[in-house]
Amino acid sequence: MPNLSPFRQSLLVTVAILASTVGFGQTQTNFDDHASMMRILGIQSLRRGPDPNNQTTFNEAFANPYKSTLPDVLTMKNGTRISRPEQWNARRKEIVEDFEREIYGRIPRHTPRVSWEVTAVAAGESGGIPTVTKTLVGHVDNRSYPAVKVDIQVSFTVPANSLKPVPIMMEFGGFGMGRRGNTTPWTQQAIEHGWGYGSINPNSIQPDNARLNTGIIGLCNHGQPRKPDDWGALRAWGWGLSRLIDYFEKSNDAHVDARKVGIEGVSRFGKAAIVAEAFDQRVAVGLIGSSGEGGTKLHRHIFGEAIENLAGGEFYWMAGNIIKYGAAQPEKTAADLPVDSHELIALCAPRPCFISHGVVEKGDAKWIDIHGSFMASVLAGPVYRLLGKKDLGTPGDYLTDAMPPVNTLIGGDLAWRQHDGGHEVTPNWPAFFLWVSGYIKVPELQARTPVVIGADQPVARTDSNSLSAHKDLLEKAKQGGIDVYFEGDSITRRWGCSDPTWSAMLQNWRQNFFGWNAADFGWGGDTTQNILWRLRNGELDGVNPKVIVLLAGTNNLGSTNANDIASGIQAIIDECRMKAPSATIVVTAIFPRNDHLNYLPTIEQVNQKLVRLADGHRVRFLNVNNKLADSNGKLYLGMTVDNLHPSVAGYQVWADGLKPILRAILGPQAKTDHAPAPTGDPSLKIG
């Protein structure tokens, strides 16, 4: 085997196993794209890439050995200096050609047609603003090669009361629904600023792995190996976004301004976001998060991940020709590249572009080379200035310009901000929306009464991550062996899920319920409407548990009244009794929460109504709130992690209330447990 990185060697073994066990259709050929490229390019071996565990990898003193080879973004290949805006297009074409041939690959001249289907429409609200959410599937015409099927998965939400089509920020990957501290979720920030938001699933376009005979690349190549300048996954993901913009251009019903579509991504999806904005000039703005090598980091800045790592590792993101620049025999290095990442950023000009990073201490590792990204941003500045736009505003020497303090936004149309978080963009969303308001205008919102959906009406969650979670829970339900079925929102979900963040809660879950065959079917953010929809769409079908534990309604607070919330919980109880008539339903009182103290009176009113829903036999009511908080609803110290979600101690209070009921119905806990394994957040499966 050539001199490959350990990652590359393991990757080849994995691909070989997959190739021997998975069928791709009668005419499809299993192959190793990397080995094929090595043969085509005449490469005998690769240099080993930098090691993230070796601190000599991160030495700024030796990071610029190739500075003399750095291409000038405003000098044509024939030596002509670009000095007027009208000359830029000719230079732009040269840069695009080099990037397509050597780094990211060419999209085929003729790609299959995409037919968009709206699979769901749901009314909702965000921060009190009425919204409309649509779920789309883009069916890619595969008649030329039926062995590969590609269905692009998209969900997007827009304000329902906008007078005109709105700008929209699309996100590569699942929704980044987490929040940092008391930060409002970015999706709500978008709506509050008059924007829409959405998610496009990259893996539904091209899988994020080396099996390039699948996805849109495999479909276009009819399952055959790539040519060295064929596209990789980054261009494929960008192609999917471009097809969505096509849809927005043609669909008045989308209520999206197709001239104002932005893209955001983090890490590999940050690479995809900058590539998408660079190549498709219809992309109006990019928020580029921690993109690293192959993104906004200078290839020639030898600090952290380098081109050798891509050549031997995630080569499938790129054109096959990228492998040449990690070759030991014949040797080529980053110095031989005809372009570098400052020119990728420059391709976004004159459109606004926001480069985002976190700090090393919080997890935005040295490996992604934050300084190298800043240097590339400085070097892209002359193009923005040439086109009459504002660059970072630094002196302009990429080798000596100092990075600004953390949490300081600099620049104009080209902007930079390093936040104090980790490998994410969450802390930069407030700054982004304030910044982008200076470049992209939003229409007025029409004042009208929001559309109200009763808490007892089923409503689907249509973002791609929630749909993926629904599929996982359907599969869990089919496995059977469940005697205790937990249903609810994030308070329930965190207790019995597989997410590493909540491992202590899962340990507590097992300590309390192992032997009673308990399974968790909660999903974060669900209202009573969403829970009711999941139950009516298969998650309880055929399970036949003996006990159902329900905690719901906290996500309805603030948007409706106690009577409506109680009606929603009653509807869930009715659905459970219909689907599992022999089960005892344990309705848990809504827990006190101190993140919104004004909710406490409504919580008390709802809980009083829940008492009347119980008959003491088939439906029982459990209230442990006096163990969680005092008589005024003030939570006892240590009961929650954020004044809403229980800590391990808080969950133990709930368990102590449940266990006598479970013991009376089920008897003592067995020494074995037959419940399905816990599930987790589907977005964490995307690396």
Q: How far apart are CA 600 and CA 589, in angstroms?
A: 12
Each residue's pLDDT tens digit, 387-420: 999 999 999 999 999 999 999 999 999 999 999 9
CA atoms within 13 A on the CB side of 74: 17
Residue 499 has pLDDT above 70, yes or no: yes
Over range 492-511, report the average pLDDT.
94
Quick check: helix, strand or coil at residue 584? strand
CB 648 within 8 A of CB 508: yes
Residue 541 has pLDDT above 80, yes or no: yes
Instruction: Note the pLDDT of residue 461.
Output: 84
User: Sorting pLDDT into bands at 50, 70 and 90, what band is 447?
Assistant: low
Portion of the chain with pLDDT greater than 90, in percent: 81
Each residue's pLDDT tens digit, 34-85: 999 999 999 999 999 999 999 889 999 999 999 999 999 999 999 999 999 9
Q: How far apart are CA 483 and CA 665, in angstroms?
A: 10
Q: How far apart are CA 96 and CA 87, in angstroms?
A: 15
Q: How far apart are CA 434 and CA 262, in angstroms?
A: 15
Nearest Cα to Cα of residue 418 among 348, 379, 360:
360
Residue 24 has pLDDT above 50, yes or no: no
Residue 266 has pLDDT above 80, yes or no: yes
Q: How far apart are CA 622 and CA 550, in angstroms?
A: 10
Each residue's pLDDT tens digit, 605-639: 999 999 999 988 899 999 999 999 999 999 999 99
Portion of the chain with pLDDT greater than 70, in percent: 92
Instruction: Note the pLDDT of residue 685.
Output: 59
Q: How far apart are CA 444 and CA 467, in angstroms?
A: 31
Residue 453 has pLDDT above 90, yes or no: no
Token look-up 């991160």 returns 58
Quick check: helix, strand or coil at residue 188? helix
Q: Which of 20-34, 326-340, 352-366, 431-445 has the lowest mean pLDDT?
A: 20-34
Instruction: Note the pLDDT of residue 183.
Output: 67
CB 165 within 8 A of CB 199: no
Give buried/exposed letters for 530-567 (b at 16+ CB in 10 A, else e): bbbbbbbebbbeebebbbbbbbbbbbbbebbebebbbb
Each residue's pLDDT tens digit, 83-95: 999 999 999 999 9
Quick check: helix, strand or coil at residue 313? coil
Mean pLDDT of the chain: 91
Over range 301-308, report the average pLDDT.
96
Distances (CA, A) of 310 to 307, 323, 588: 5, 8, 52
Q: How far apart are CA 149 and CA 256, in angstroms?
A: 28
Residue 368 has pLDDT above 60, yes or no: yes
Instruction: Note the pLDDT of residue 560.
Output: 85
Set out the domains of the chain in order of their start, with CATH numbers.
Answer: 101-436 (3.40.50.1820), 464-685 (3.40.50.1110)
Instruction: Note the pLDDT of residue 617.
Output: 87
Over range 190-214, report the average pLDDT.
95
Please give the backbone phi and psi of residue 331, each rounded to the nearest 5 degrees, phi first.
-80, 130
